Amino acid sequence: MSAKIPKLMEIDTKEVFGFIVCDSYTNDLAGRLARHIDQDQPVDILTIFAINPNKVILAAKDPQVTDALQSAGILVPDGIGVVIASKLMGRPLSSRIAGVDLFESLSLQLGQSCPVFFYGAKPGVAARAAEQLKAKNPDLSIAGVVDGYSGDEMSIIDKVNGSGAKALFVGLGSPAQELFINRNANLMPCLKLAMGVGGSFDAISGEVGRAPQLAINMHLEWAYRILSQPARLRNSNLVAFCIFAAKQIAKTRAEGSQARRG
């Protein structure tokens, strides 16, 4: 369970594939999240998940994934396929918000008063990501780092609660990270924010290279990943998403046309 979007955020949203998706820009959203974490008054934990074509299909197959995504306080459009579909549905999102960019931008805006906890990835990877971010932002306070292979769920929760962290970033991959946060967010009262960050620890640590900037600017990062790691194509749900999206777009357009005639 999660908090509703706080009023101080004043974030626009659009409905896409039945999900309420944040309609904003990376740096603007990161700044609002930083202010949310830095509040003095107690607030309910705000959960942030990304939505992309793969998660749309995972949700269509698994009600638990649907519930987790719908529970998010903020759902960001991480996949360009979701952004394109929103435009074709007549509910255009302003921009793709890459999860790794949002995570990094937010981390660079947090100071000593906002300690963070990193959980996930292979041993040593999250710690290297923390070092990279700390080098860019010396004021970033790292309350704890635990890899994705350490301990059971309750031991992780105990470590987070004992760390005094205000923000938790979970990089377990999807849907594991969304399900973990959705199950356990309310068991970590020290937190003001919990965010699923996917492969962000890998990217920031240098464990896995990101696409060239030109590919990112052209919204072709997904293609670069598949070309550099062909095995990803088998698990990408790309074809299934295209079929699913086409049906949903046609349905939305037909409903809009009928409403105008009526």
Q: Is residue 256 part of a domain?
A: yes
Instruction: Answer for the pair 52, 190: CB distance below 8 angstroms, yes or no.
Output: no
Q: What percent of the chain has pLDDT over 90?
A: 71
Collect all residues with Cβ–Cβ distance below 8 Å to 63 and sequence separation of at least 6: none
Distances (CA, A) of 67 to 12, 178, 257: 21, 10, 30
Q: Mind listing the pLDDT tens digit for each residue in 45-62?
A: 999 999 999 999 999 999
| Residue 29 DSSP SS3 | helix
Q: Is residue 4 part of a domain?
A: no
Give the Cα-Cα-Cα angle 45, 37, 137 (nearest 5 degrees): 135
Q: Is residue 6 part of a domain?
A: no
Question: Average per-residue pLDDT in the chain?
Answer: 89
Mean pLDDT of 11-28: 95
If pLDDT is split at 50, 70 and 90, which confidence band does 20 have?
A: very high
pLDDT given for residue 83 in this prediction: 95
If pLDDT is split at 50, 70 and 90, which confidence band does 4 have?
A: low
- How many domains are contained in the chain? 1
Q: Is the pLDDT of residue 227 over 70?
A: no
pLDDT given for residue 93 in this prediction: 97
Q: Is the pLDDT of residue 243 over 90?
A: no
CA 77 to chain CA centroid, nearest Å: 8
| Residue 144 DSSP SS3 | strand
* Measured distance between the N- and C-terminal CA atoms of the chain, rounded to whole angstroms: 39
pLDDT given for residue 9 in this prediction: 64
Q: Is residue 124 part of a domain?
A: yes
If you write DSSP's letter for every residue of 178-228 in order, what string do you get?
Answer: HHHHHHHGGG-TT-SEEEE-TTHHHHHHTSSPPPPHHHHHTT-HHHHHHHH
If you write DSSP's letter for every residue of 236-258 in order, what string do you get?
Answer: S-HHHHHHHHHHHHHHHHHHHHH
Q: Is residue 254 part of a domain?
A: yes
The H or E element that residue 161 is part of is: helix 153-163
If pLDDT is split at 50, 70 and 90, which confidence band does 220 have?
A: low
Domain limits at 67? 12-261
Q: Is residue 5 part of a domain?
A: no
- Kindly report the CATH number assigned to the domain that includes residue 215: 3.40.50.10700
pLDDT given for residue 234 in this prediction: 63
Q: Is residue 3 part of a domain?
A: no
- Cα 65 to Cα 123: distance, rounded to the nearest angstrom: 26
Q: Which residue has the higher pLDDT, 233 or 88?
A: 88
The H or E element that residue 106 is part of is: helix 99-107
pLDDT given for residue 252 in this prediction: 84
Q: Is residue 181 part of a domain?
A: yes
3-state secondary structure 32-97: HHHHHHCCCCCCCCEEEEEECHHHHHHHHHCHHHHHHHHHCCEEEECCHHHHHHHHHCCCCCCCCC
| Residue 98 DSSP SS3 | coil
pLDDT given for residue 233 in this prediction: 58
- Cα 171 to Cα 118: distance, rounded to the nearest angstrom: 8
- Cα 180 to Cα 41: distance, rounded to the nearest angstrom: 26
pLDDT given for residue 224 in this prediction: 60
If pLDDT is split at 50, 70 and 90, which confidence band does 242 have?
A: confident
Whole-prediction pTM: 0.89
Q: Is the pLDDT of residue 7 over 60?
A: no
Q: Is the pLDDT of residue 8 over 60?
A: no
